Amino acid sequence: MAVIGYMRVSTHYQKFDSQQQALKDYGVDIIFKEYESGRKCFRNELNKALTTLESGDTFVIFKLDRLARGTKQLLGLLEEFDRRNIHFVSIENNIDTSTPMGRFFFTIMGAFAEMEAELIRERVLAGLSAAKKNGVILGRPPLVNQVNEALELYHNTTMSTEDISKRCGIATSTIYHHLRKAGVYRTKKNADLSASDKVLVRSGENK
């Protein structure tokens, strides 16, 4: 079972000295070095290290901030390690998921991430409520221009509803919905008539 080490600095001007010494003292077999921001989810060397890991291996870092900058990102990696049966060690933070205290830390991290997500949700809902009280119209803006263009093409050209839909960027169901609201229908027989011969059948006229 291998012990894989990972260390990271943000720029080429920074040194790996303290990280590298700590990883060597721990007894890692392989060390992956990365010059990259910790805020990036995808990092080449980290990806190589994760790909190298197999069930039963141990992944070692110097400090938590060398692996991730955010709770969500860190928890995602810890969940991956747990799923793949990989032990995780952070030397400076005294974390080792092969121990009861390490597994307890994993549980606490999950609780914090869940609380963070719930707080974000509450802030979003509060913001939407305040905006609604202030008269802000929520949701997608109405497709007034597209609908008007579609109806004009429908009445004045021989284009099919499908072609009108593609040209105006709205669904055919939306076009039919607004036609029905106006009480206008096109029969199958009349669908292919020229613009001058097009027959518009208004609801109630042919009853």
CB 178 within 8 A of CB 147: yes
CA–CA separation, 88 vs 96, rounded Å?
A: 6
- Per DSSP, the residues of 13-26 read TS--HHHHHHHHHH
Q: Give, as one character, the DSSP assignment of residue 65.
A: G
Instruction: Report the alpha-carbon distance of residue 203 to residue 131 in Å, rounded.
Output: 40
| Residue 160 annotated in active site | no
Segment (H or E) for 96? strand 95-96
Cα–Cα distance, 48 to 59 (Å, whole number): 12
Q: Which of 10, 98, 129, 160 is catalytic?
A: 10
Contact 30, 5 (CB under 8 A): yes
- Cβ count within 10 A of residue 57: 17
Please list the active-site residues.
Answer: 10
